[in-house]
Amino acid sequence: MSKKKQSSDASPAVLPAHIAIVMDGNGRWAKKRMMPRAAGHKAGVAALKKIIESASEAGIKCLTVFAFSSENWNRPEREVAILMDLFVSSIKKYLPELQQAGVVLRFIGDRSVFSDKLKASLQQAETSTQNNNFLNLNIAMNYGGRWDITEAAKKMLQDTSSGAVAAEQINESLFSEYLSLADLPAVDLFIRTGGEHRISNFLLWQCAYSELYFTDVLWPDFNGQELKQATQWFSSRQRRFGRTGEQVEEDAVSEHTK
């Protein structure tokens, strides 16, 4: 991965400022190959590594991926343990390269229940990359969109109780400042691999106006070409944000002739 490769000649006309991905299908990928689910998760990490490179090369500034949902604790204990170990070993393995590439790593979700080892590894990864300024890579672990909103409400309530915020000041903009990723743009493009058409409690607030892209490709098979297809599809969408199609076209013409 090289910083130099990021260029403005990325092919899609309109690049999403922020892409969120539900990396689904690791288990089925492994099953198809008569391999244990753990092998699918390992292949999933390798796929993520490649996608980080492809996204950087395409000029994407923010990428948020779902690695473990607050509901994934419902899986067999052994699979959860394997995933937790994989998180620690993958961070150790890839951190130097990510650091070198200028990636800013951030983890979102409730980490209070993680082992001390995993907590320390997340902290170290964040601290050592915080002054980078290339790609913002956010990894959601023990994350849930409802958890995020509830936490934000709790923090805002604390500020209201202490007098730092007056109840009359509360609006969507103020509330969103308490959410994870408040400093980043809203998610433009939401991708889910693995064929399911659901959000599974990922970034609920942040995806309010995302374009939703679903593909049957299983996550370990998702590659730069697939990402390109998704971003090309994105650039063909007309984003109206409540306006009419005609209004959007007129605005595009006047922007063009400015």
Q: Hey, which residues are catalytic here?
A: 24, 72
If contact means CB under 5 to 8 A according to the sort of partner, which of Mg ion, ligand IPE, none does residue 23 touch? ligand IPE
The candidate with the shortest Cα–Cα distance to 114, out of 73, 74, 149, is 73
User: Is 43 an interacting residue with respect to ligand IPE (CB under 6 A)?
Assistant: no
173: its two tokens? 């903009």
Region 47-106 residues binding ligand IPE, contact defined as CB under 6 A? 66-69, 71-72, 83
Cβ atoms of 14 and 235 within 8 Å: the answer is yes
175: its two tokens? 């509330």
Residue 57, CA distances (Å) to 3, 9, 54, 192 in order = 8, 10, 5, 21
Nearer to ligand IPE, 16 or 27 (CB): 27
Tell me which residues touch Mg ion (CB under 5 A): 24
User: Is 190 an interacting residue with respect to ligand IPE (CB under 6 A)?
Assistant: no
Least Å distance between CB 212 and ligand IPE? 14
Q: Which residue is nearest to Mg ion (CB)?
A: 24
Nearer to ligand IPE, 20 or 152 (CB): 20
Q: Determine the 3-state secondary structure of 153 from DSSP.
A: helix
Least Å distance between CB 69 and ligand IPE? 4
Least Å distance between CB 24 and Mg ion? 4
Other CB atoms within a 10 A radius of the CB of residue 18 amount to 23
Sheet order of strands, 136-143 included? 104-108, 136-143, 62-69, 18-22, 189-192, 211-214
* Phi and psi angles of residue 91, each rounded to the nearest 5 degrees, phi first: -65, -45
Least Å distance between CB 50 and ligand IPE? 16
* Contact residues for ligand IPE, defined by CB under 6 A: 22-28, 66-69, 71-72, 83, 194, 196, 198, 200
